[in-house]
Structure 1
């Protein structure tokens, strides 16, 4: 009999992934439930590389929810729908992996295979998850969001303004989250570097999310051409998968 992918928490994981959240509070709830279960997956438990990403994703999403409650977005319907569509692609990838489905994107599979360890490191693992979610998932989430709302991805629009505001959320959250992944000696080096590490990682997130917006505009233009759309999906997956391998390689230890 094949060993369950999630070991002793296979049933809990399957139950969580049966849910399909339809608003941002439900996304937060599902991410919280995932975090609890991921930290119980043997053999790494709390050092599970996917838990490292999920923790970061949860913090960002909670900040988005706080801003929604505070009325900080110009088009809250857009931001809410994008958050749901975005999270759904992550949950779908997990569902496919749990079911052993070939539909699981290659970029996510590259991170999921690291779950048993032993060479997973916290910060590169979290960044590899961000790579999968932004470079691959985000353009498609934007397309389905605009399609649902009946609007176009236009530069300078209220939707684009709100999209860029999420960069500010990353800038707020990155310093504390990044230091949470570091060992004591790494924290000493980080202190010596001042704000440099926080700055360049914030710049990388902003650049990557800008590329995702441009890719979404390209996908939007071909959304009715299924063959071309599938070609672009495979291309983006290959590109993100290659970057993910680099991020999870010994070369990426500089991140840590």
Structure 2
């Protein structure tokens, strides 16, 4: 786990603070550090499986942001990362959407193959990771909330925040992982489903990054 944490810290040092990828990276670095402490304290039912899942999960994010061409689910965040009309909270949620909505299911499958087990064997650890993410999401929203104007129901950001749910996203990720495991002997169908999942999650990410404030002239 230290290897992926080191790569995230290197990204944090290299990227400008307001860069959209940097915003998500800081959030995810905190998440991964929290998961590492929980594994070390024995808070997961299967520490070995939890560690393997956490590492493979993180590696998918790092591969995406370091690639010449990222998967469709990550492209909105990468393309809009310096847009003056997008708020930091939107960057964080767009990254979480890509990572949970697409990467988590694929990380479950690669972990199952590495440990020679079925998804059911990882379900308790999957749920524990999800519970940690949900608990941290509220803090993330509070930390990155731009101000009391969000109490206005007509504020576009208020609408965006209410239209996406991490809890629903992780439920969808588990369903996608189970389906991909069922399709493992039909590689063409599995690839078709994975591409569809990637595109769908990318569309949601683009919506989450809808500019919600006017750019201030330099």
Distance 2:106 2:45 in 1: 22
Question: In structure 2, the residue corresponding to 1:47 is in which secondary structure?
Answer: coil
**Counterpart of 2:195?**
234
Specify which of 80, 95, 111 is matched with residue 129 of structure 1: 95
1:144 aligned onto 2:121: no
Match of 2:46 among 75, 95, 106: 75
Cα displacement (A) at 1:250: 4.0
Greater shift, 178-187 or 71-80, is seen at: 178-187
Unaligned runs of 5+ in 1: 1-23, 40-45, 191-196
Which residue matches 1:116?
82
Calculate the TM-score normalised by the size of structure 1.
0.73
Query: Is the contact made by 2:86 and 2:212 (CA closer than 8 Å) also made in structure 1?
Result: no
Superposition deviation, residue 28 in structure 1: 1.7
Aligned length: 205
The 2-side partners of 1:221 and 1:171 are apart by: 27
SS at match of 2:184: coil
Kept in 1, the 8 Å contact 2:101–2:201? The answer is yes
The aligned counterpart of 2:20 is 49
Residues 180-191 of structure 1 correspond to what in structure 2 (within 5 A)? 180-186=143-149, 189=151
Residue segments in structure 2 that go unaligned for 5+ positions in a row: 153-157, 214-218
Structure 2 residue corresponding to 1:86, chosen from 51, 54, 57: 57
- Greater RCO structure (CA 8 Å; 6+ sep): 2
Alignment pair present for 1:217 and 2:188: no
| Partner secondary structure for residue 71 of structure 1 | coil
Normalising by structure 2, we get a TM-score of 0.85
2:97 touches 2:166 (CA, 8 Å); kept in 1? no
* 1:21 matched residue in structure 2: none
Corresponding residue for 1:30?
7
Task: Name the residue aligned to 2:216.
Answer: none
By how many angstroms is 1:137 displaced? 0.9
C-alpha separation in 2, matches of 1:114 and 1:48: 9
Alpha-carbon separation, structure 2, partners of 1:175 and 1:215? 25
For the pair 1:59 / 2:30, whether they are aligned, the reply is: yes
Residue 165 of structure 2 aligns with which residue? 204
